[in-house]
Structure 1
Amino acid sequence: MSYTSKLPPSWNDGPPPRKVEIDLSSPGLAVVELERLLFTGRAIVSHADEVWPRLYIGDKHSAVNRADLSQHRITHILNAAHHKLNEVPAMYGSMGVTYMGIQARDATDYDMSCNFQMASDFIHSALNGGGRVLVHCHVGVSRSATLVLAYLMIRQKLRLVEAVCAVKDNRGIVPNRGFLRQLCALDRELFPGK
């Protein structure tokens, strides 16, 4: 199948979209091809990067840096590496930031797909209300990226390859192989027969 990268019209000021062909019907081969595509992404040069209008992927540092949160005018934080022993930073309350934590492991055998809908709903609600969302984990390349890709697929109706192309040019991401398989399954679920 052939996909052309999609970005919102206001964001597509760069070079013309390119066609990327990856057959998602064979999960094993698709993961290898997706990894090749991901390795063509932008290098990570900052703690957080805007990957879709008002939607950022970042690392744990970006989530506790008051100056960065203020600079990006973040109103919502989705922590994909929440641990039940960690407390929500007190500064979020004083900054008016809405927080959601997901206890996810960055492991190929972890079922991240059980969080796709909940995370997508949180991001969608925040963006529809005019908010700005930071999705983060420890490094900001696997768990957080997986949830953002799922959001783009579920709510923005992008195919997986389109979502990867939209994100990777703004931030280098590398979801683990288990997460990539789960995203392939989501693509088949959302776009059957395509």
Structure 2
Amino acid sequence: MGILWQVQSLDKHSFLPAAEIKLEKILNRGSVAYTHVNEVWPNVYIGDEDTAKDRYNLQRMGITHILNAAEGTWNNVDTGADYYSDMDVVYHGVVAEDVPSFNLRQHFYSAGEFIQKTLNKLLVHCVMGRSRSATLFLAYLMIYEDMTVVEAIEQVKTRRRIIPNWGFLKQLRELDQELQEKRKGGATES
């Protein structure tokens, strides 16, 4: 119902390409139950708005870096660097909407660089911790850990229930194709 509704809400002529349907099936196969926050990689947590706003538990968890994938005031998580000013936290915000037509790909490399430079505990979050934040972390795994989109999804979904919208899945698939072409080109040049 979710995919069909998204497609119908965009326009009646929209369709979901087979590659995105395959990724949706992988995401829905054997995922863990939804919780507010999960460690998805050593010292990397994906969480929701409640987690991001719970400063006491962030300190208790030892979070030193926060990547807000839903920065802003309308239908987003309105925290910002000032919200954490009395904590020893490095903050990076990404203004992004959780709609299939939003170009989240423009933030893949800057968010990935922030994640890569984090030397301690990182929280990547959005409103639900399932679409925007998950997409940015999947892109990080693809860019910096040389994973394919399928490998990245398999890595994260065993630890957290993630549901990137189909537009974000399409952008991840495009990134996957671009990175695979680069890697092939680099391998033949050696």
How does the TM-score come out when normalised to structure 1? 0.80
Q: Alpha-carbon deviations, 1:152-180, whole Å to 9, x = none?
A: 00111111100000000100000000000
Q: Which amino acid aligns with 2:33?
A: A
8 Å CA contact 2:53, 2:79 repeated in 1: no
From 30, 33, 58, the equivalent of 1:43 is 33
Mean Cα displacement is larger for which, 75-84 or 117-126?
A: 75-84
Aligned-residue RMSD, C-alpha: 1.8
From 85, 101, 126, the equivalent of 1:109 is 101
Higher-Rg member (1/2): 2
Structure 1: runs of 5+ lacking an equivalent: 1-26
- Structure 2 distance, partners of 1:134, 1:109, is 25
What percent of counterpart residues are identical?
44
Q: Which amino acid aligns with 2:103?
A: D
8 Å CA contact 1:84, 1:103 repeated in 2: no
- Structure 2 distance, partners of 1:186, 1:90, is 33
Q: Alpha-carbon deviations, 1:28-82, whole Å to 9, x = none?
A: 11111111111121111x2111001111111011011123212321100011110
Q: Which amino acid aligns with 1:149?
A: L
From 53, 62, 65, the equivalent of 1:76 is 65
Q: How many residues align?
A: 164
- Structure 2 distance, partners of 1:66, 1:103, is 21
Matches within 5 A, 1:117-156: 117-126=109-118, 130-156=119-145
- Structure 2 distance, partners of 1:90, 1:74, is 16
From 87, 96, 99, the equivalent of 2:91 is 99
- Structure 1 distance, partners of 2:36, 2:87, is 19
Structure 2: runs of 5+ lacking an equivalent: 1-15, 185-190
Deviation above 6 Å: which 4+ runs of structure 1? Answer: none
User: 1:55 aligns to what?
Assistant: 44
How far residue 97 of structure 1 moved from its aligned partner, in angstroms, is 0.5
User: 1:177 aligns to what?
Assistant: 166
8 Å CA contact 1:64, 1:89 repeated in 2: no
**Which structure has greater helix proportion?**
2
